[in-house]
Amino acid sequence: MGFLSGKRILVTGVASKLSIAYGIAQAMHREGAELAFTYQNDKLKGR
């Protein structure tokens, strides 16, 4: 059970695997958070 277990977090600004938001999202997921993401358009949806 991680530090963020049971928490829901909205992550914004994930444009690629090189973005800071991506790294933060990975760390939060490792700690047990449930994540939701926003994206600008369909081109970025699959990332």
pTM comes to 0.75
Query: What distance in Å separates the CA atoms of residue 17 and residue 14, rounded to the nearest whole number?
Result: 8
pLDDT at position 7: 97
pLDDT at position 45: 63
pLDDT in tens, 3-34: 999 999 999 988 888 989 999 999 999 999 99
Look at residue 43 and tell me whether its pLDDT is greater than 70: no
Sign of CA dihedral 21, 22, 23, 24: positive
| Residue 12: closest CA among 21, 3, 1 | 21
